[in-house]
Structures are given as C-alpha cells and as structure tokens.
Amino acid sequence: MIDRQSVQDVLESIRPALQADGGDVSLVSVSEDGIVEVELQGACKGCPMSQLTLANSVERVLKDRIPEVTRVVPAL
C-alpha cells in the first residue's frame, strides 16, 4: 500500500510550480491499487490545459518518485 504521507510530500514538491501559475493541487485519496485522486485548484481548476498538467506534471512526478502509483485522476 502507498503511504499517504509520501504522496503528500511529492505533491508539496510540485506545488510551487503550480502556484507560480496561480494554481494548486490537493490530495483527495490514495487507493490500495495505486490510484491517486487529486483536486486541482485555483487557476488550474477548469483550465483547458488541466488534463495536461495532471498527466505531464503531477502524474509523471508521482510515478517517478513512487513506483507503486499506477494512475493519477482528478477528483469528481
């Protein structure tokens, strides 16, 4: 199982880049099968590029630093 604090620590490292563009990210949940659910906030929420931000920034870094992460999905 993925340690929630480890995911939170990685998100903390990503946060400054998102905040530089007026956005942010918060952790919603971590499932036993490696799916991390996050909520994009601020300028990132509703941005047409949010899916790219999620895939190319958040998911890529999480998977790189925590190999057990299988997918990152936006909160509904």
> Which pLDDT does position 53 carry in this prediction?
87
> For residue 24, what are the domain limits?
4-74
**Rounded-to-integer distance, Cα 49 and Cα 12, Å:** 21
Tell me what pLDDT residue 9 has. 97
In order along its 76 residues, the chain shows pLDDT tens digits of: 899 999 999 999 999 999 998 999 999 999 999 999 999 999 988 888 888 889 889 999 999 999 999 999 999 8
pTM as predicted: 0.91
CATH number of the domain within which 14 lies: 3.30.300.130
User: How would DSSP label each residue in 2-58?
Assistant: --HHHHHHHHHHHHHHHHHTTEEEEEEEE-TTSEEEEEEEETTTT-TTHHHHIIIII
Number of folded domains that form the chain: 1
